[in-house]
Amino acid sequence: TMAHRFPALTPEQKKELSEIAQRIVANGKGILAADESVGTMGNRLQRIKVENTEENRRQFREILFTVDDSINQSIGGVILFHETLYQKDSQGKLFRTILKEKGIVVGIKLDQGGAPLAGTNGETTIQGLDGLAERCAQYKKDGVDFGKWRAVLRIADQCPSNLAIQENANALARYASICQQNGLVPIVEPEVIPDGDHDLEHCQYVTEKVLAAVYKALNDHHVYLEGTLLKPNMVTGGHACAKKYTPEQVAMATVTALHRTVPAAVPGICFLSGGMSEEDATLNLNAINLSPLPKPWKLSFSYGRALQASALAAWSGKAANKKATQEAFMKRALANRQAAKGQYVHTGSSGAASTQSLFTACYTY
């Protein structure tokens, strides 16, 4: 156990990883999670009655990525799905080139979905470690600088079990280690999903246990924390919980859980939105950044639905709606950047899509 004679990374590798991570979360910037798998995009497109074809997926992503360059003040990184990394705009320019030219760091979803853990109450681990090093090396060549891997835990009877926590923490740590070996910053996502009727305190307790296990696993696997980012759930009541909580309550529970488990060396924590409406995701992030507890990491966003819902509704599959779509997206991006600085002022004028709950039961993508 003892040798540091086998350092996992050279000083140059560490510097590169650390700089990438800091760039992504600099100055209130956050992440656009545009890495919906084909199946998940299907769900999104179905809501706006658009057919789930490769071309439709390409068109929607093109609208988002060709938005005005000033988006780079709110968005530090974009997570792509594999297909999207190799798609181009209508002029034949690669999306990843467009993003890089805006100064946005390109990331890639690396996990390959869930697999059941036998002997548990429907719990899962995540696949994707096989050949991961080679995949990472190729993605790095293709312009990617960070990866994302989502582990899923749920609160229910006997859940999350010790096995589910340990197994998912271990898989996350293996993934993170492999990423760093290949110059990719790993975003570590141990999502405790909001399904259930548990209260805020219960979610906080579970989140603390999960995060403690994650950071022990990262340490065991010699992962360089300064070259990682965390993508956790906020601490909230379950979706079926009768009690409603204010953003301040969510913020206090969330920051308390983080400050008991996440070492200060981690440069940034980019929350997932997990089915919250666009507005709630922004209000909660803002309250988190106004929390009086010590916050040594950047507290930002890595939002999928909570950045795109209005944009999707505005688009509805029609090229003529491009400008409205881009405006809707830009508006949420700016709002979340302000929230990441604790400066968001709720204007009170939010369209239907922005307050509509984006919860889909037992969400997997």
Partner 1 sequence: TMPNSYPALSPEQKKELSDIALRIVAPGKGILAADESVGSMAKRLSQIGVENTEENRRLYRQVLFSADDRVKKCIGGVIFFHETLYQKDDNGIPFVRTIQDKGIVVGIKVDKGVVPLAGTDGETTTQGLDGLSERCAQYKKDGADFAKWRCVLKITERTPSALAILENANVLARYASICQQNGIVPIVEPEILPDGDHDLKRCQYVTEKVLAAVYKALSDHHVYLEGTLLKPNMVTPGHACPIKYTPEEIAMATVTALRRTVPPAVPGVTFLSGGQSEEEASLNLNAINRCPLPRPWALTFSYGRALQASALNAWRGQQDNAGAATEEFIKRAEVNGLAAQGKYEGSGEDGGAAAQSLYIANHAY
Q: Which positions are catalytic? A: 189, 231
Q: Which of 323, 285, 320, 324 is nearest to 303 (CA)?
A: 285
Comparing CA positions, the residue from 254, 244, 358 lying closest to residue 309 is 358
Taking residues 187 to 206 in sequence order and writing x for each that binds partner 1 by CB under 8 A, - otherwise, the string is --------------xx-xxx
122 binds partner 1 (CB under 8 A): no
Residues 256-285 that bind partner 1 (CB under 8 A): 256, 259-265
User: Is the torsion defined by CA of 305, 286, 186, 104 positive or negative?
Assistant: positive
C-alpha torsion angle, residues 115, 226, 181, 10 (rounded to 10): -160
- When binding is defined by CB under 8 A, the residue of 116, 296, 346, 352 that contacts partner 1 is 296
Token pair belonging to 27: 């100055």
Tell me which residue of 337, 203, 343 sits closest to 270, measured CA to CA: 337
Question: Which of these segments, 75-83, 159-167, 271-279, 325-333, binds partner 1 (CB under 8 A)?
Answer: 159-167
Which among 122, 129, 24, 26 has a CA at the least distance from the CA of 77?
Answer: 24
Closest distance of CB 269 from partner 1, Å: 12
Q: Does 158 bind partner 1 (CB under 8 A)?
A: yes
**Least separation, in Å, of the C-beta of 304 and partner 1?**
28
**Residue 229 makes contact with partner 1 by CB under 8 A:** no
Is there binding between residue 235 and partner 1 (CB under 8 A)? Answer: no
Closest distance of CB 123 from partner 1, Å: 12
What residues from 7 to 36 belong to the interface with partner 1 (CB under 8 A)?
none
DSSP state, 245?
A: -
Question: If we measure between CA atoms, which residue out of 353, 335, 337 comes closest to residue 345?
Answer: 335
Point out which residues bind partner 1 (CB under 8 A). 1-2, 4, 155, 158-162, 165, 201-202, 204-206, 208-209, 212-213, 215-216, 219-220, 225-226, 256, 259-265, 294-296
